[in-house]
Structure 1
């Protein structure tokens, strides 16, 4: 059986194509999936895969806290989190990078911060906690027309590395092996890579070598 079998995994921002692919890969591998999104209607295909669906705006701290309470009240302790809240606004050079565009993009970073804080204890206590974010190759080569986007992705990567350091620190202070890992998946574009990202996430429970704090480029190429 895959190592993720029987584990509880939350997909944050699950209503995208990659969210559907991840839910399918996880349920096929025997995981219990909690799919979270803002639209009950758009969550229906994930419920059809057998996922538990939760409607919440993950950029709202109070809603994230209530989500955590509901799951814990039902005896669900998470073993994994895949953060997919995102989007794109850009173009027009630096002058075209409006404040309104930035605030829309910022919601993905805000959601990551809320979700990671709410479920950090679950992941640390899990025998194999995993958290992954989707970042962009734009972080390494930002363009003027995508400055807002690259800045948000860079901040998200810094936060993910901080999560990784926290996981390592907890294990060190507890004098225990490192069991929780935070990983950054970088893509040039998610288009056509939905299945590859889903497989990479499921594979985090299969990996022999530790990848805590690592950047993993997902290209879809063999």
Structure 2
């Protein structure tokens, strides 16, 4: 099994990581649909071979509308990110926390909107990008680690939902939820790991943390 001919949504993909993942998936033969809020910033993804859609990855309504329009979807990867920190625990401001929340909101919105499509796929994949800060949170990065930890908890709940559906219906497990963890994200390493999601057995992948 490979990414060839699979339809994969990269939500909030207007970053160096989004561009690297797009290029790798297109080269592997996948149909890539990349979303972002800026037409200008989506241009590089279109040049790389993606179908681009102006849409807010943190909006359940926008992602649900996209899911309805696309139909078949075999992979969803929310790539909304960012980092704010420093100043010790006292420096963990509400403003910084609010600025980090869109990453969690994108995980929630995309997983809910595309849940049915991923479970209908013969190889559905949902993957998030997290951080090693979850395993060792520091005072100066408490806001960031907390948001990443919440995102991981949500992704693990998605994995449980996939398992429960398979168990309740008596069908094989066909969808997997995966967590990528990185200390300092390298776009090319993420791209290779994403392509490899369709080269592994679904049961081996579901609820797995993969260190990058």
Shorter-chain TM band: over 0.9
Per the normalisation by structure 2, the TM-score is: 0.96
**Deviation digits for residues 26-49 of structure 1 (CA, Å, limit 9, x no counterpart):** 000000000011111011011012
Partner of 1:198: 191
Q: CA deviation at 1:19?
A: 0.5
| TM-score between the two structures when normalised by the length of structure 1 | 0.92
- Equivalent position SS for 1:189: coil
1:171 maps onto 2:163 in alignment: no
Cα deviation, residue 63, structure 1: 2.2
Aligned residues: 211
Provide the secondary structure at the position in 1 that maps to 2:205: coil
- Could you tell me how far apart the structure 2 residues matched to 1:151 and 1:206 are? 31
- 1:94 corresponds in structure 2 to 89
CA distance in 2, matches of 1:120, 1:196: 26
Matches within 5 A, 1:1-222: 3-71=2-70, 76-190=71-185, 193-208=186-201, 210-218=204-212
CA offsets 1:52-100 (integer angstroms, 9 cap, x no match): 10111222232223322332xxxx3110011211100111011111101
Report how far residue 5 of structure 1 moved: 0.4
2:49 match: secondary structure: coil
Any gaps of 5 or more consecutive residues in structure 1? none
CA distance in 1, matches of 2:31, 2:188: 18
Tell me the distance in 1 between the aligned counterparts of 2:112 and 2:170. Answer: 23
